[in-house]
Amino acid sequence: GESVGLHLPTLSVQEGDNSIINCAYSNSASDYFIWYKQESGKGPQFIIDIRSNMDKRQGQRVTVLLNKTVKHLSLQIAATQPGDSAVYFCAENIRQAGTALIFGKGTTLSVSS
């Protein structure tokens, strides 16, 4: 079964707020994690990634935090905009378990103006 999951299936925020989307994983052999954004009817798009030798990585308006002690991953979006409304997936790469990423079920982020 899936080893990657998300704490909440939906998240609603106001425009301008900061959003935090969480993801728990269970495999300690996971060495690479990616966050994807999927808009309705489209393929997922890469947002940001992080390797297991890092705790934090920042991009433009996004930050990913990795806590290996509790096997937790989070995506923080600063100053959330209506265009950020989408489904967000975390995915993990399990070292030596094949080449495919394993995906969680996703969190739907809704941003209201």
Partner 1 sequence: DGGITQSPKYLFRKEGQNVTLSCEQNLNHDAMYWYRQDPGQGLRLIYYSQIVNDFQKGDIAEGYSVSREKKESFPLTVTSAQKNPTAFYLCATRDWDTGELFFGEGSRLTVL
Tell me which residues touch partner 1 (CB under 8 A): 2, 4, 9, 32, 34, 36, 41-46, 49, 89, 91, 93, 98-106
CB of 83 vs partner 1, minimal distance in Å: 18
Q: Please, which residue, 7 or 17, has the CB nearer to partner 1?
A: 7
**Torsion of the alpha carbons at 73, 52, 64 and 33, rounded to the nearest 10:** -70
CB 16 to partner 1: min, Å = 28
Residue 70 or residue 100: which is nearer to partner 1 going by CB? 100
Q: What is the per-residue DSSP string for 34-77?
A: EEEEE-TTS--EEEEEEETT-SEEE-SSEEEEEETTTTEEEEEE
